[in-house]
């Protein structure tokens, strides 16, 4: 599963899981385990590892077992000097350990319960090529003294002092930088957190990379993460203290790339905010409320939403005491077929697991009422390290052995059957566990004993092997597929908010939790006890250990009832909507509201254009700091996006009736924007030579296309092809599947063609069928291209100076262009002839047209309505106080949005 995707070297048998809980691995040395029989001396080569509470010898011969000697079991640790007998070969120095027991691990290289030999014996080790054996012995003696102290608190303090001394004497090796030009920002001591274990070392962050260098060089000398690959970061509670930082280079996977625990909160926060500078809008966008809105509107699946809530609530796959928690959703594990149309198939999500069985709940409530304060209904939790490894023992056996001191659980208490486990959760006196994300994933290994582990034999004589599946599942993959389908089903979608109220929401605490029979032991809640206030070190450590192993309730994310999910489609505003909502008619209403909007006839457009002189402003907003350069609207009309020379992309929300988001991709101007047909992606071009893909559901940059050698001036999109125009004198055609963009995966862009020009390309346009492309250059040249062959059909020099904007007529027969020479020119596509030329009093910058009439905006800030048949201005509409620089019109030609140099966006509509 996810947390098993570690960087550990596959050939190594040694693992940090061989250490005791809360133990550190300090250093290792090549050595020999020396055994002496009556006839000869035998040497086994391997690695001698010094740990905070033990010595571990890992032999190179895989047939030999790993030896573990607990320092507290040692009676004597001695340095044996080399013999200097001149008649024999001198014998090198050795380490002699007299111990009361030795633990044997992975005998015959098989993962199995550890075997302990409890008898006094002397273990001898000879270090290879090491002339400071005596120093190692002194280190072992110091750690031995710590392990033999009476009080656990004193032991922990002495070991912590040893660790901090080692960290203080070392630092991050800057020779590990990927580039000599990297500039380090900060360095400090940290621990890398992995399930059940921590590995101390040094973290260093530069202007390009995040590095972690383990103190012991395990599992590798340095771990490197590029800052521009990071997609998410979260502050974490670790050990109930705000010291954790988790870094993800993926969008949806719940397995992070690294989890670091700092020794003070200030260092953690400095690292967090430094990384956050590389993640636009990270801090404001990643909230439970923003995810909730995405989920409600169908942009997030139930699975994705639960993963996000777990992340925000401090749940991490690297911390088994706070592992992501998912609900049981199916209650039927006996039927031969799974009927997802029957509500009885599903678990009641409004109740905690402990309240699903009324008889058991009545017994628990009876005990609860007679209990002194602080009272609790459930004495065990729904998520703990033991429960996580109960489910995952078949793929994480070493984790289970680590948690349970080298032993598996009793065979009858193992995860033997999904149906039996569900029944025990309903009837068991102390079993109230929920599920983990793996039950809704795609990897079924945790249900199968593919490692052929000997997990014991049950009382009925059967071996613990594969997990027994419900009758309705043909195999493990089929079970997972149906389980995932159930999680996304109509019933669960309608009721999932009730379970969220219990686990992450307002029924988690207080009187609401009592009313919902959702009260757990007070130690499980965040802030339930302040361990730092406990003066006795032993009591403090014992309390902390109890909390971490018992289970922790997630951080509370919602304090009011969670709304129910709505049908995942957009609802159009009715005709009675107030005109104060400028985008109320951006999208067509449903057929039941107005059938005329369903059939967008040519006649309706002609009527709109004939009435265009009556265009009225509805509202205006000054949202940018510099000129507006582009406007686009999602297909459903729910959001308006604009770009500006102030380098920002901004979003106007129809529902909120206000501007909701601001995104900056670089410090250079954005030149244009467009929305893809799926309504989930906005594409922006920039003067920094790049094209940026912005995910509307996730509210952040999704992809970057570094496609040109100079500013990208504008773009077009048609049928999974992106056309980008640039001042580097090229138009490039890229293939990018829109489904990969909408799925929020990293996309691959394939360059299909590069259309060369003699000057910088300032504007391009596609005909409605996507078969023709027109481009306009800074030298006044218009080129028409065939998009199937990418050949030039026409090339006409028709303007004196830059061409600002051009577009095909709806019938694709003509192209209209406006330029810096204040001329509007109509070109015949078939012949390349300029069939009309109109000289305007002022320079025009942008327009919309229907083949005969043109609504254009120019330097004066007014909107001009031109009749091209008579070459006359039929209407002049005051608009902006500066040049009109961007314009958008809906399909019905009834709504217009304009942007200008005055930084304003004005929403216009035609009266009914």
pLDDT digits (tens, 9 = 90+) for 724-739: 999 999 999 999 875 6
Percentage above 90 pLDDT, the chain: 65
Once rounded to an integer, what is the mean pLDDT over residues 832-843?
A: 84
- Please give the average per-residue pLDDT across 346-374, as a whole number: 95
> Dihedral (C-alpha) 103, 109, 112, 114: value to the nearest 10 degrees?
0
Per-residue pLDDT, 598: 37
Homologous superfamily of domain range 600-909:
YVTN repeat-like/Quinoprotein amine dehydrogenase (2.130.10.10)
Supply the mean pLDDT for the chain. 87
Tokens at 386, concatenated: 């033991």
DSSP string, 561-601: PPPPPPPSSPPPPPTTS-TTSTTTTSSPPPTTT-HHHHS--
Phi first, then psi, for residue 506 (nearest 5°) are -75, -15
Q: What is the mean pLDDT of residues 306-315?
A: 93
What pLDDT, on a 0 to 100 scale, did the predictor assign at position 520?
93
Q: According to the model, what pLDDT value does residue 583 have?
A: 40
Tell me the fold of 320-550.
Neurobeachin; Chain: A, domain 1 (1.10.1540)
> Can you read off the two tokens belonging to residue 611?
């009435």
Give mean pLDDT, residues 595-599: 38
**What pLDDT, in 10s, does the model give residues 666-713?**
899 999 999 988 888 999 999 999 999 999 888 888 899 998 999 999
Tokens 């999680």 correspond to what residue?
A: 487
Which of 261-275, 328-342, 573-587, 673-687 is least confident? Answer: 573-587
CATH code: domain 2-167 is 2.30.29.30
pLDDT at residue 44 is higher than 80:
yes
Return the closest-CA partner of residue 201 out of 149, 257, 258, 249.
258
3-state secondary structure of 367: helix
Q: pTM, whole model, 2 decimals?
A: 0.64
pLDDT greater than 60 at residue 433: yes
pLDDT at 202: 97
What is the location of CATH 2.30.29.30 in the chain?
A: 2-167, 172-286
Given a cut of 50, whether residue 6 has pLDDT beyond it is no
| pLDDT value of position 712 | 97
**Residue 21, preceding bond cis, omega within 30 degrees?**
no
pLDDT at 238 over 90: no
Mean pLDDT of 820-849: 88
Domain at 172-286, CATH class: mainly beta
Strand partners, 54: 70
Residue range 463-474: average pLDDT?
95
Residue 87 has pLDDT above 70, yes or no: no
Residue 592 has pLDDT above 60, yes or no: no
pLDDT band at 911 (very low <50, low <70, confident <90, very high): confident
**With contact defined as beta carbons under 8 Å apart, do 169 and 128 qualify?**
no
Cα 661–chain centre separation = 20
- For residues 736 and 502, the model is more confident at 502
Which of the four pLDDT bands, split at 50, 70 and 90, describes residue 533? low
Q: What is the mean pLDDT of residues 368-396?
A: 93
Is residue 777 over pLDDT 90?
Answer: yes
End-to-end alpha carbon distance in the chain? 59
Residue 242: pLDDT above 50?
A: yes
Q: How many residues does the chain have?
A: 912
pLDDT band of residue 83 (cuts 50, 70, 90) is: low
Query: Above 50 in pLDDT, residue 284?
Result: no
Query: If 0-12 CB within 10 Å is exposed, 13-18 middle and 19+ buried, where does residue 21 land?
Result: middle
Task: Name the most confidently modeled range: 188-202, 265-279, 601-615.
Answer: 188-202
Read off φ and ψ for residue 869, nearest 5 degrees.
-70, -35
DSSP string for 807-868: EE-TTSSEEEEEETTSEEEEEETTT--EEEEEE-SS-EEEEEE-SSEEEEEETTS-EEEEET
Residue 85 has pLDDT above 60, yes or no: no
Distance (Å, rounded) from C-alpha 147 to C-alpha 23? 11
């Amino acid at each position: 599963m996810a947390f098993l995707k570690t960087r550990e070297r596959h050939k190594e048998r040694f693992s940090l899981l061989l250490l005791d809980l809360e133990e550190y691995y300090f250093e290792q040395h090549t050595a020999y385990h020396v055994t002496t029989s009556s006839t000869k001396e035998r040497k086994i080569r391997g690695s001698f590892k010094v740990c905070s509470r033990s010595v571990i010898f890992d032999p190179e011969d895989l047939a030999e077992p790993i030896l573990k000697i607990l320092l507290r079991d040692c009676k004597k640790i001695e340095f044996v000097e080399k013999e200097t007998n001149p008649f024999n070969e001198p014998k090198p120095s050795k380490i002699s350990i007299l111990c009361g027991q030795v633990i044997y691990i992975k005998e015959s290289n098989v993962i199995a319960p550890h075997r302990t030999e409890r008898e006094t014996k002397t273990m001898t080790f000879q270090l290879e090529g090491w002339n400071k054996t005596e120093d190692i012995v002194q280190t072992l003696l110091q750690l031995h003294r710590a392990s033999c102290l009476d009080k656990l608190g004193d032991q922990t303090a002495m070991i912590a002092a040893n660790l901090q001394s080692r960290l203080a004497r070392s630092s991050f090796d800057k020779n590990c930088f990927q580039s000599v030009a990297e500039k380090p920002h900060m360095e400090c001591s940290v621990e890398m957190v992995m399930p059940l274990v921590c590995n101390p070392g040094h973290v260093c962050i530069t202007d390009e990379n995040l590095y972690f260098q383990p103190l012991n060089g395990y599992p590798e000398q340095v771990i490197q993460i590029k800052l521009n690959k990071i997609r998410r970061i979260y502050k974490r509670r670790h050990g109930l203290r705000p010291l954790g930082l988790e870094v993800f280079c993926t969008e949806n996977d719940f397995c992070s790339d690294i989890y670091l625990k700092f020794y003070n909160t200030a260092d953690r926060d400095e690292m967090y905010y430094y990384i956050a500078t590389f993640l636009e809008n990270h801090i404001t966008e990643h909230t439970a409320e923003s995810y909730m809105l995405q989920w409600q509107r169908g942009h997030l699946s139930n699975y994705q939403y639960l993963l996000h809530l777990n992340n925000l609530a401090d749940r991490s796959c690297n911390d088994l005491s706070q592992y992501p928690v998912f609900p049981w959703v199916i209650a039927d594990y006996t039927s031969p077929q799974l009927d997802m149309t029957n509500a009885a198939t599903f678990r009641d999500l409004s109740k905690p697991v402990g309240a699903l069985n009324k008889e058991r709940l009545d017994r628990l409530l009876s005990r609860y009422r007679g209990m002194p304060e602080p009272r609790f209904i459930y004495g065990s939790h729904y998520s703990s390290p033991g429960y996580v490894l109960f489910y995952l023992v078949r793929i994480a056996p070493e984790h289970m052995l680590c948690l349970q001191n080298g032993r598996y659980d009793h065979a009858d208490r193992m995860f033997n059957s999904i149906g039996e486990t569900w029944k025990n959760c309903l009837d068991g006196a102390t079993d109230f566990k929920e599920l983990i994300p793996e039950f809704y994933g795609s990897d079924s290994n945790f249900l199968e004993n593919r490692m052929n582990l000997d997990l014991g034999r049950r009382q009925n004589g059967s071996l613990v092997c594969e997990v027994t599946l419900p009758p309705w599942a043909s195999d493990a993959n089929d079970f997972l597929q149906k389980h995932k389908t159930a999680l996304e089903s109509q019933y669960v979608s309608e009721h999932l908010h009730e379970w969220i109220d219990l686990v992450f929401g307002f029924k988690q605490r207080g009187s609401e939790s009592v009313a919902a029979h959702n009260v757990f032991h007070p130690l499980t809640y965040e802030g339930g006890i302040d361990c730092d206030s406990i003066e006795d070190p032993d009591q403090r450590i014992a309390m902390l250990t109890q909390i971490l192993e018992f289970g922790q309730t997630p951080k509370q994310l919602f304090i009011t009832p969670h709304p129910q999910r709505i049908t995942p489609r957009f609802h159009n505003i009715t005709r009675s909507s107030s005109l104060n909502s400028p985008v109320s008619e951006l999208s067509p209403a449903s057929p039941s509201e107005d059938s005329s909007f369903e059939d967008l006839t040519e006649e309706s457009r002609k009527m709109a254009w004939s009435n265009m002189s009556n265009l009225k402003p509805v509202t205006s907003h000054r949202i940018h700091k510099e000129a507006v350069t582009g406007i686009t609207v999602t297909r459903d009309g729910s959001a308006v996006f604009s770009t500006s020379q102030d380098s920002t992309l901004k979003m106007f929300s129809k529902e909120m009736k206000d501007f909701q988001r601001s995104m900056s991709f670089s410090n250079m101007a954005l030149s244009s924007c467009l929305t893809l047909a799926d309504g989930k992606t906005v594409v922006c071009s920039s003067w920094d030579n790049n094209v940026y893909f912005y995910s509307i559901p996730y509210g952040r940059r999704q992809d970057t296309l570094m496609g040109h050698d100079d500013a990208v001036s504008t773009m077009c999109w048609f049928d999974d092809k992106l056309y980008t125009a640039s001042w580097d004198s090229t138009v490039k055609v890229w293939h990018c599947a829109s489904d990969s963009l909408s799925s929020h995966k990293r996309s691959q862009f394939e360059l299909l063609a590069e259309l060369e020009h003699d000057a910088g390309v300032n504007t391009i346009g596609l005909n409605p069928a996507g078969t023709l492309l027109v481009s306009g250059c800074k030298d006044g040249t218009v080129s028409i291209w065939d998009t199937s062959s990418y050949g030039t059909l026409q090339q006409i020099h028709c303007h004196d100076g830059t061409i600002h904007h051009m577009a095909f007529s709806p019938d694709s027969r003509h192209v209209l262009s406006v330029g810096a020479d204040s001329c509007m020119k109509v070109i015949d596509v078939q012949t390349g002839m300029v069939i009309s030329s109109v000289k305007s009093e002022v320079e025009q910058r942008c327009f919309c047209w229907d083949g005969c009439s043109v609504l254009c905006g120019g330097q004066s800030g007014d909107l001009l309505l031109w009749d091209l048949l008579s070459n006359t201005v039929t209407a002049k509409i005051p608009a902006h106080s500066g040049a009109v620089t961007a314009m958008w019109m809906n399909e019905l030609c009834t709504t217009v949005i304009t942007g200008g140099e005055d930084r304003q966006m004005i929403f216009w509509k035609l009266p009914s």
